[in-house]
Structures are given as C-alpha cells and as structure tokens.
Amino acid sequence: MCDRPLHQTLLSRSTVPAEARAYWLNRDLIQWPGKDGKGAFALYAAASGKLRIQRGLPVSGNDLKIRVDITTAALPEEIRQRYKFVAAGAVFKHQLSAQELTSLLKQQLILVQENEHNEVIDFTHIQIASVIDDLYQAATDESLGVTITPPSSGGSTQFSTSFRLWAPTAQRVSVCVYKTGDSRAQALMPMSLNQHNGIWTSSVNQDLSRHYYRYLVDVFVPGTGLIRNSVTDPYSISLTSDSRRSYIADLQSAALKPAGWDQHKIPERVKNPTDMAIYELHVRDFSINDKTVRPAYRGKYLAFTESASAGMHHLQAISAAGITDIHLLPIFDIATIPERHCISPKVSGGADSRHQQAIINAQADQDCFNWGYDPYHYNAPEGSYASNPDDGATRILELRKMVMALHQAGLRVGMDVVYNHTAFAGQHPRSVLDRIVPGYYHRLNALGKVEDSTCQPCGNTATENRMMAKLMSDSVRLWAREYKMDSFRFDLMGHQPRAVMEEIKAALRTDNGREIQLIGEGWNFGEVANGARFVQASQLALNGSQIGTFSDRARDAIRGGGHDGNAAAIVQNKGYINGLLEAADASPTQSQQKKALLLSADMIRLGLAGSIAGYSMQTADGQTKKLSDIDYNGQPAGYASAPAEVVNYVENHDNQTLFDINAFRLPLTTSHEDRARVQVLGLGLTAFSQGIAYFHAGSDILRSKSMDGNSYNSGDWFNRLDWTYQQNYFGTGLPPEKDNARFYPIMRPLLSDPRIKPRPQDIAMSRDAFRDLLRIRSSSGLFRLTSSTEIQRRLRFFNTGPGQNPAVIAAHLNGENLEAANFRAVMYFINVSNQEQSLVIQEQQGHHLQLHPVHLMPGAGDQRIASQARFMRESGTFLLPGRSVVCFVEPN
C-alpha cells in the first residue's frame, strides 16, 4: 500500500448521501434544524459503512441502533452563542459514555427520524466538530508531527524518531517510511491510538533524519464509504517535490542552518507597530527578470543572497531611506505551482495584442508562477523557490539564507499567511486535512458542504474549531521561531476569531521574547459576516487588540472606488488624485461633483488621522465630527482605537496597480511628468498617514501589469519588475481575459497610446521622490504617533469645511514635548491640482517654517519643491507646486 501511486483506496462503499443537516453541539446534545420532534429518533451506526437507508423502509445493515430523546431544556449559553447561526429545531439528548462516543465517531453514523413502524421519515449525517472538540480537549496541548530525540546523558543511549498524528475518527493508521523521495518504502509501522487525545503514535529507535514518510489512514467518509487514504502530514516541515512525501528532520539540526544563523542579528528598527513601513514582494517577481542575478538563482530564495544584484541594490536603498519590513507573498507549500517540471513560456506580442495572454492561458497551470494563495502544507517552505525541490533539506536551508540576507540588508521579514482556506478539501488528491479527519477542519454550511466564500473552489477552514485553531497557531509560531519571521500578514483575517488571533499574538511574544506584529485583511463578508459565528478579527471588531487591519477608507478616496461589474465605472469612479478635482470643475452638475470632491477630501484626512474612531475634525458640511460618526458605506468611517490597528495603503498585489488605475482615469492629455507626480501623491498620502505604511513592490517605480486587474496566475510576463528602471511594462499586451475581458474596449486604445507609457526619467523621478517620502517619515516620530490620544493632541487639519480649497490637504503636527519629534512642528501639504496653489493659514503667521531638509538634498526626487515651494512668514502664505507633496518644519 505504501508504494501504490493511488492517493486513496475504497475499502467499503457507502450508498447514503453525504448531506449533514444536524449538529452535534457537544458530547451530550444534537440539534436538527427544522425538525419539530414528531416521530421517533435514533442513531444508526455501521463500522464498515454499509448502512442502507431509504425513506419509507426500515434501516438495514447497521451494527448499532441507539435511541435519542428530545429535550426541551435550555441550551447552555456557550453552546447557544457558538451555534447562534443554526436554525431552530429539535434538540436530542443521549446517554452514551465518552468511550462509546469515541467508538461511534469512527463509524458510519446517521441520525434517523422514524414512524411507529420503524420506517424512515427522514435521515441525515451529523456535523461533528463540536463533539470532537469536547471529547479531545487534551489534544490542544500536545505536539504533533515528527520528533527526533538524540541520546541523553542520563537516559536513552539511542536516537529515536516518533510520529504523532491527530486522527480521532480513524479506525486504523500506519506510517510508511522511505529512504528517499523516490524510493520504495523501507518500513510500514503500525500506530497506536491514545483514546484520551485522539493522537496516533509510533516510534523507532533510529535517527530517521533525511528520510520521508506518508500516513495510511483508514477512515469513514460520509457519502463515500470506508477509505484508506495515503496522505502527507498536515504538520510537514518540508517535503519532496510536488509534496508527494513528507520530510523527516529536526529544524534545530546544524545541517539545516546557514553559517551564523543562530547568532545573526534581527534589525531592531520597529519599537512600535507604527514604525513599520512595509514593502510587499513576491519571491519570484523579485529576481526572475533580473539579469544581474545568476541564472540558477533567478526566481529563487537564493536570489536575495546576491547582495550586488540590481534587485538587492534597490532593497538596500529603500531600507536606507526608511522601509523597515519586506512582506513576502506566500512562501509556504503551494498547491498549484509544479515544483519539478514547471515551465517558463516564451512570450511576445504588441502593446494591445491578445497573443501574450493566449500563450500564458494555455500554460498557466504548468508554468512556474502563482501568487500562492492556495495552501497545501502550512508549515513547509514552497519548493519551487528552492534550487532543488526534490531534497526536503534544500528549501529549509535556502529560505533561511534568504531571511538572513534580508536581515543583513537592515530589513525585517514578514510573511503573508493564508489560514482562511486550503486549496482543496474533501477527498481531492491534494487535500490533506479532510482526508485525515473528514468533516472537521473546514467550515460547513447548513447541508454539511464546505463553505468557499474566501476562494472558489477552495475550502474555508474552521479556525473556531480547536484543532484548526491549534494548527494555525502552531504554524505561525513555527515560522517565527524557526525562520525568525518578524511579522505576519493574515489573508482574509476577518474569517478568523479575534480570540484566536489574540492568543497567537500573546504566544509569539512568549516564544520569542519580542513583539511580532500581526496585520491582516479585516473584511467582513461571507458566512461569518457581522459576527454570525464568532467575534471576528475584522475591522470593526479589533479595537484594543493592537492587531492591524487594512483600511479601505482612504484607499478608495485616493484612487477611486471599484467598478462593481460595470466596465464604464473603471473610468468614471475617479479618485482624489486622478481626476475628481478636474471632474468637479468641468461637470455640468458641478455642485454634485463638488460635494463628492469635498467628501473625498474628508476621507483623505480621515486616513491621515489613522482612521481613529474618536478623532474629531471639521467636515465638509462645517460640522465638527468624530471620525466614527462619518459614514462609509453604512459603516463608521473611523473604526480604530489605536494607530497600530490600521494599515494604510493605496496599492497591493490585488486589483490594478496605481499606475494602471490612473491610466484608466487620468485624461489622455496628462503629461509623462504629471503621471509620475500623481503616483507620488498616492505614495505620499500613504507615507504620511498615521498607522502602519504598506507599499506594493514596484509602486515606487510606476509598476504596471499592463492593466491586469487580477494577476494571480498571469505568469511572469504580466508580473515583471525592472530594477534597471528603464521601463514599467505598460503596454505589453492585453491581460488574461478571465478577469479583464469586459474592459478590453477601454484597454486597447490606452495600451497602445504612447502618451501613457513612462520614460526612464519619469520612473527615476518617482523612485527618488518615494525615497524622499520615506526619509521624511523616518525623520520624525510625529508621522508615527503611537496612541489615539497623541493623534488627537498633535494632528490638526487646516483648510477644511465648506469654504476650503478642495485641491489642497493641509496638516499640522505639533512636536512640543515629544522627544522623537525632532522638530517643534511639521506642516505638510498635498496639492492634487496640476496648477500651483497658494494657501493662507493665518495661525502660522510669524512661525519659522522652512522646507524639510530632505527636499533640499541635491538628489531630491521632485526638484521643483526646492525652487518653487515657499512659506511667507509675514502673511502665513504657502506656495505649493502643482501635484506635489511638500513638507515644512519648524526647528526646535
């Protein structure tokens, strides 16, 4: 069985449909939504899975029949809260002992409603997560996976290797051991079950380091039957290529550590979360197009060790300017990138041609590129980024080398983690969790089907269940402990319980003796929306947690909103920096457009204030309001209790890049210079916002994906970066039609228009201006305030209310009695008009404000500021070049 290529063997077929409409609430209680309690109810069980159930006939093929009785007693409060999303229905109580229950859960088990003649009225499987959590609470404190124990001075004289797999519903488990990733099995070891915690164990007095293994798990699968699954370990720390076999190793082994790994220093640049300035980067994007990296390292972990490469020079430069963290798109084991024989297609074609995407679409599932939001094994490094994916040790060692190289460049390392779903669920060959404990690890709907709101056709995980929460926690802690990760970005974090996220945050602090920052997408949607199943780790539910969520408030105001499926809206929904001002000036419905412009300016200020709920400012209607009292699509616009709880951004891997959305929305007559300046406006608003600053790799060099709105599987061609700063890859073909076809009539003329594609000097200007923004942000703690109280006390907006000049955002930061301020005061301005603006602020008359020293540097990005921006002390007048971000300071 160990050597058979099949992932699964059917031992006994079941003919009963898999639908599971009832819930096992705890070890004693079962609820069947919609049932009124008429008739009799019983549990039928069959170890071989050969129950025969048909409406109107008695049940046959059963080994056991257990009567259950309806109870009218009130449900315990904990259960009522956990299952508040379940529709009302009959609740049943049974008298089974824990031992009897553990036996039943290994069998085919059906809840049946019968009439007085024992004929079936209705039947269903039962969702079992809560009864398993109740019975096996002890498992949460146990270690899982493989452990290698060396001889000890006072005990064993031999090495031992032990295997531990949590599979409480399995009838039988064995472990297959292999010498290599391709050899035949050298051993088949039976495993024994601990009935108390549901963990199967096996040990051998050998050091099996560098060997591989798989489990054989005999388990009943509702709707299928009794199955023998050949499956890898959910706790795999590495694998052979294409995740065929799990790898045995001790991560503390010297053989798996680069020279100096244990002693090397992690940059101590982040005292508070708001010190973070993050650069989001994909491992393959970073180097696959970089000719200064040796060919064998391109697209790999090891590219980061090439300290003299163009890409590393770029990272070193932004590190010196003020970027503190590199956040890597997923680097755990990815399900959809072939590790052994992936291909790099040769692509070519015209600016608006369909030829490029035709090549990419034909090979998208065989090429070497994917963003990686399709987890396979959470604890193992991805093999396609390793120089030798066949060897389980290589990816561990090389990932550590990458982390070490980034640390040596002064950059902390963060990981994008995706615990909200797995790439596959059920009995798919690349499903892992469901093939070990069917029906437990994934979130189910009212029919017992796996929810997929976070990724179709992926399966949403259920981190409200103890052992899925443990897997997520154990995994994050492993990455921090064994790979020295400094922070984590949680994909669709709103699908996780807040309580679990807070437990992880506390455990990381205890494990590592330092703070590991957690940020994530706090979007509120799907089956968990509005707290339907638990208190979510979502935007409106994380106050006081010091866990950051991405803020869409200012993002949408800056670049403009989405399109909601309306192709024309991608042009019409202009943002504050890319056309809203001009639209208000030119529109026949000028008053309506002016109102939209003023509301957008207020949302920009809200973002600059860190989206702090309690911050007060004057709004466009002349009233002074708390940010929580401003509406944002039916929600409070200001939602955070502290700046550490907000991540500010204008571009990330999702959706169009800022340059590309600007290409849709800016007038065609916009000059090359002004397109670069508009880019800098968006980056400046991000850099100067209170909270955590987050930038997408390449946004500083006008990155384009040739207008692709979803490049997750668009290959290297549409995801390239050019660290020589010669071009941005705009106009390199129509992007793949799956997510872009509706926009083709708009895209075609834009992609082929030479007025849009930037010149090298435009890219250089944006690059240098971005570094200036980082230097300014780094120069004063006023841009990185640590509490809502300090923001309310020190940040003030001028030029507000109905009489404002809507082209200019003007902000004042008071540095008195703040040592980290480095200045008595800071004033910054964002002028989104293409014309110079003059603004009088009477409160600043007589103050000794001067341009920030960064603007006066010989290599400053926007040379106009030094020569054109002015402050006239006698009148309090500020002169601001068109489309500029300008900072003045008042020295101490």
Report the catalytic residues: 491, 521
At CA 831, angle to CA 828 and CA 834, rounded to 5? Answer: 155
CB-based contact 74:4 (threshold 8 Å): no
Q: What whole-number distance in Å separates Cα of residue 684 and Cα of residue 885?
A: 6
Q: What whole-number distance in Å separates Cα of residue 447 and Cα of residue 452?
A: 14
For 476, half-sphere exposure in the C-beta direction (CA atoms, 13 angstrom radius) is 30
- What tokens does 556 get? 């949408």
At CA 294, angle to CA 293 and CA 296, rounded to 5? Answer: 120
C-alpha torsion 578→581→587→592, nearest 10: 110
- What tokens does 311 get? 């890409």
At CA 412, angle to CA 861 and CA 700, rounded to 5? Answer: 25
- Bridge partners (DSSP) of residue 33 are 89
CB-based contact 423:335 (threshold 8 Å): yes
- What tokens does 102 get? 């553990």
- 457 preceded by cis ω (within 30°)? yes
Q: Residue 593 — left, alpha, or beta (φ > 0 → left; ψ -120 to 50 → alpha)?
A: alpha
Sign of CA dihedral 328, 334, 339, 345: negative
- Bridge partners (DSSP) of residue 67 are 42
Q: What whole-number distance in Å separates Cα of residue 547 and Cα of residue 15?
A: 48
| Placement of tokens 């616009």 in the chain | 637
CB-based contact 440:20 (threshold 8 Å): no
At CA 699, angle to CA 697 and CA 705, rounded to 5? Answer: 85
SS3 for 124-191 is EEEECHHHHHHHCHHHHHCCCEEEEECCCCCCCCCCEEEEEEECCCEEEEEEEEECCCCCCEEEEEEC
Q: What whole-number distance in Å separates Cα of residue 231 and Cα of residue 214?
A: 6
Let me know how many helices (H) and strands (E) the chain has, helices first. Answer: 20, 41
- What tokens does 91 get? 């609740």
Q: What whole-number distance in Å separates Cα of residue 424 and Cα of residue 428?
A: 6
For 377, half-sphere exposure in the C-beta direction (CA atoms, 13 angstrom radius) is 25
SS3 for 594-627 is HHHHHHHHHHHHHHHCCCECCCEEECCCCCEEEH
Element (H, E) at 40: strand 40-46
Q: What share of the chain is helix, strand, coil (3-state, %, to 5)?
A: 30, 25, 45
DSSP one-letter code for 302? G
CB-based contact 178:212 (threshold 8 Å): yes
Output Rg (C-alpha) for the chain, integer angstroms: 30
Q: What whole-number distance in Å separates Cα of residue 501 and Cα of residue 570?
A: 36
